[in-house]
Amino acid sequence: MDGALGEWRELLGERATVAPDAYGRNLTEFAARSLTAVLRPTSREEVQAIVAVAARHRVPLYPVSAGRNWGLGSRLPVRDGCALVDLGLMNRILAVDEELHYAVVEPGVTQRQLADALAGGPCMLNVTGSAEHTSVVGNTLERGVGMLGLRTRDLRALEAVLGTGEVVRTGHWAAEGSGGPDWHHHPDGLGPDVTGLFAQSAFGIVTAAVIGLHPRQEYELALVNAPDDGLAGHVDALRRLRQMDAFVDRIEVNSADDPRLIGIRDEARTAAWATWAAVRASEKAVLAAWKDRIAAAFGDVEFFGAADPSLPEPARTRLRKLSGEPGDEYVDAMAGRPVDTRRAFALDDDPAFPGFVCALPAVPFAGAHVTAIVAAARRIDADTGVHTHLTFNSVSAHSMEGFFRVMFDRADPAQVATAHAWSARAQREFAALGYRPMRTGVDTMAYANGHTAMLRAIKHALDPASLMSPGRYIAS
């Protein structure tokens, strides 16, 4: 290992170090992995050189973009013995096209940075509910979900350094340099689309991505309340309206104890479930027609627009995010106080920040399925003695991401063990019911996906020495 670190030092100087302990800390209290080095490249060329050294010395690499994968492992690799490639210094916005709605960004570009670059223009980023200083590329590669739906839907092409050291560009980007007006207007390239191979995978280090942007437009929010015994009908009514495009993704069905609802729950709003759903509001006549339709579908609904004088804070926050403005509000709500998320280890090295572990099953957008998995979650809660906060985020007109999380006291080993046992059991039991994870944490990567042999063959071709993110989403 000395040999590899020595070579990386020659290459990167002080940007190649032995791993400080901080890299092992994480708010989920997963066991730290041993790291052979932390490497902080500033360019694709440096990434290529890092891979060449790794190949010579057979040291696996684990890339992270901003490393704020909270709840799933923060910046921990899946396996011991990796050199962590921290891409935070590769933070250039390489291009913005306001006509064809895309930005080309390096992995260290944060939501805040891109939102600022787009401010006042005609298009905006699909921001997530996570912190301002999370990575657009990192979240997209994890298949994160923004306020306007699945981030991978916005991914048009990317550039990656493979385990072989080769640089590839996907989509039509591969043709850049051969003349022509623009390479990023069309999503899939020509022939088999390989962009998707790099999401939730272990084939390479993504060094830039083409991120589709959204037209900047006005939304109104519907807050729809439902009792527990009305949940199935509530979800089915939401789906029908989503299928008609009355609502945009992500519709968010929350159990009423969700910390992000503090400030809107009061004597008048006590139902067991509270759903946020956004309606396009730029065309007032269209908005009015949808509001009539929505009001007729639900007994208990309120509407909030950005111009409302007495807007409750949770509605204001959501409308801000829907207008492409990221913020730390949901992190603050979790902590119960403001948190400075600019610091790389902000939540992870703060023992007072609540412990947090989650399970993220894919659930059909149908009342019967939602109530079935809620019943399973409550059964597991009763057995394990935890309390799960339940959210369902629509990712399409047909499917939802369950975002189930348990918070715990990080200083109490018994609570930590219980929360971890909950996560493993919940994921296993949900999968047995047919609700397989759509994302998972570094301690729960082991699952079969039915095409393991094909993935291994691709892995062997793109990363023959198994240098890239060992154990991540691809069984080895």
Sites of contact with ligand FAD (CB under 6 A):
63-71, 87, 107, 128-130, 134-135, 137-139, 141-142, 144-145, 205-206, 330-331, 334, 469, 472
Q: Which is nearer to ligand FAD, 234 or 318 (CB)?
A: 318
Shortest Å, Cβ 285 to ligand FAD = 32
Contact 361, 345 (CB under 8 A): no
Q: Which residues contact 173 (CB under 8 A, 6 or more apart)?
A: 157, 158, 159, 183, 184, 189, 210
Q: Which is nearer to ligand FAD, 282 or 449 (CB)?
A: 449
Q: Which residues contact 249 (CB under 8 A, 6 or more apart)?
A: 148, 149, 150, 242, 393, 394, 395, 396
Identify which of 418, 444, 421 has the alpha carbon closest to the alpha carbon of residue 431. Answer: 444
Q: Which is nearer to ligand FAD, 145 or 377 (CB)?
A: 145
Shortest Å, Cβ 254 to ligand FAD = 12
Shortest Å, Cβ 179 to ligand FAD = 29
Q: How far, in Å, CA of 56 to CA of 261, rounded? A: 52
Q: Which is nearer to ligand FAD, 36 or 130 (CB)?
A: 130
Q: Which is nearer to ligand FAD, 391 or 415 (CB)?
A: 391
State whether residue 187 is helix, strand or coil. Answer: coil
Q: Which is nearer to ligand FAD, 128 or 225 (CB)?
A: 128
Shortest Å, Cβ 134 to ligand FAD = 3
Q: How far, in Å, CA of 352 to CA of 310, rounded? A: 33
Q: Is 175 left (phi over 0), alpha (psi -120 to 50) or beta?
A: alpha
Among all chains, which residue has been given the structure tokens 């009355």?
246
Identify which of 71, 128, 132 has the alpha carbon closest to the alpha carbon of residue 407. Answer: 71
Shortest Å, Cβ 240 to ligand FAD = 25
Which amino acid, one-letter code, is at 61?
A: L
DSSP-assigned states of every residue in 44-91:
HHHHHHHHHHHHHHT--EEEESS--BTTTTBT--SSTTEEEEEGGG--
Shortest Å, Cβ 149 to ligand FAD = 11
Among all chains, which residue has been given the structure tokens 């306007």?
148
* Rg of the chain on CA atoms, in Å: 22
Shortest Å, Cβ 64 to ligand FAD = 4
Shortest Å, Cβ 339 to ligand FAD = 9
Q: Which is nearer to ligand FAD, 7 or 328 (CB)?
A: 328
Q: Which is nearer to ligand FAD, 230 or 471 (CB)?
A: 471
